[in-house]
Amino acid sequence: MSSAQETILELRQVTKRYQTRGNILGRGKKEVLALNRISLQVRAGEIFGLVGESGSGKTTAGRLIVGLEKPDEGGIFLNGQDIVGLQGKALRRYRRQVQMVFQDPYQSFNPQVSIMDSVGEPLLTQGVAKGVEREQMVLAALKEAGLSPAESYAFRFPHQLSGGQRQRVAIARAMILEPSLLVADEPTSMLDASYSAQIFDLLLGVRGRLGATVLFITHSLASARYLCDRVAVIYRGNLMEIGPAQEVIRNPRHPYTQALLDATPKFGRCEDIPRFNTLLRAERPAADSGVGCGFFRRCGLAQRARCSMEAPEFRAMGEGHLCACHYAEPGPAQADQGGECHLGA
């Protein structure tokens, strides 16, 4: 990791709501609180994992960070500059610094545009290079992303690539402008384990060679453990726990993080990964929506009087390790010993 520990990205109390449409008469409209007052800081040069199950708000956070959508409340800062109101040239400059690899590689490409034109497009729109120079830069980016010989991939169309190759192309396109921050949204969710490992190594290379900061979005604590310096665990738009990746995974303090670890597929034996047998409840109604702990409805440890009414503050559990639970305490977690290894990506 870069020696610099300054903050490159900060989310301050970010809230995002979506309205669902309802039926043809407009009945059944609902508001979804995709992100609820999220605050976090990402340090320059680190790989920061945003971990949570499906629907927890990870992609929403990514889209807000790259400026594809705006938060309803709160601020997003890159190198101290608020990016929420950016428009025109300022927004274009920002897009050069912050790029995203999307979750679904099929949606990230126009099927009628060649890899050469697709990867080279940001060079044109940002006015960086054209003609032969642009072609050379595209070939170099493809090679850098592990697609070699680059010439044999550059003139194909997206459907002529495997899923893994498509994700490599997506990373090449995201990195061609040498952004300082790469948001990688579940880049391996459609790949098998061995190809996932190659993509992880590519992301490690992106950070190592170019010094880029990576926000790695994943549902898998195992992937985050392999790749990330720090992780934040999110549940239905609420941050639950944040800290050094190894510490959060070996010594999770939040019952939700413990449940996520318990739910991770297991292969082989591995002494250092704990199991918790955490009790998850069938969903129960909240006393008052939006009040109290975001995990109250599922939590086996919750005390109704407190957890349904009082939102827990983040409290320090260890060096840089914070947890938002009324009942979490610092110290070693009460895990089962001799757990099994979580290698599922």
**b/e code 164-197 from CB counts within 10 Å (16+ = b):** bbbbbbbbbbbbbbebbbbbbbbbbbbbeeebbb
Q: Which residues contact 31 (CB under 8 A, 6 or more apart)?
A: 17, 18, 19, 20
The residue with tokens 């006393």 is 287
Instruction: With beta carbons less than 8 A apart as the criterion, state whether 141 and 123 touch.
Output: no
1 touches which of Mg ion, ligand ATP, none (CB within 5 to 8 A by kind)? Answer: none
Q: Which range, of 47-55, 122-130, 289-297, 304-312, touches ligand ATP by CB under 6 A?
A: 47-55
How many residues form the binding site for ligand ATP (CB under 6 A)? 14
What is the C-alpha to C-alpha distance for residues 41 and 181, in angstroms, rounded to an integer? Answer: 13
What is the C-alpha to C-alpha distance for residues 96 and 302, in angstroms, rounded to an integer? Answer: 45
267 touches which of Mg ion, ligand ATP, none (CB within 5 to 8 A by kind)? Answer: none
Query: Residue 295 has which token pair?
Result: 């995990």
User: Binder to Mg ion among 59, 108, 238, 278 (CB under 5 A)?
Assistant: 59
Q: Which range, of 57-65, 144-152, 279-287, 307-315, touches ligand ATP by CB under 6 A?
A: 57-65
Burial class (CB in 10 A: 0-12, 13-18, 19+), 65: buried
Q: Is 55 in the site for ligand ATP (CB under 6 A)?
A: yes
Gyration radius of the chain's alpha carbons: 21
Q: Is 64 in the site for ligand ATP (CB under 6 A)?
A: no
Closer to ligand ATP by Cβ: residue 55 or 331: 55
User: Binder to ligand ATP among 45, 47, 56, 147 (CB under 6 A)?
Assistant: 56
Please state the closest distance from residue 329 (CB atom) to ligand ATP, in A: 28
Q: Is 32 in the site for ligand ATP (CB under 6 A)?
A: yes
Task: Report the interface residues with Mg ion, using CB under 5 A.
Answer: 59, 103
Task: Report the interface residues with ligand ATP, using CB under 6 A.
Answer: 18, 20, 32, 34, 52, 54-60, 103, 219
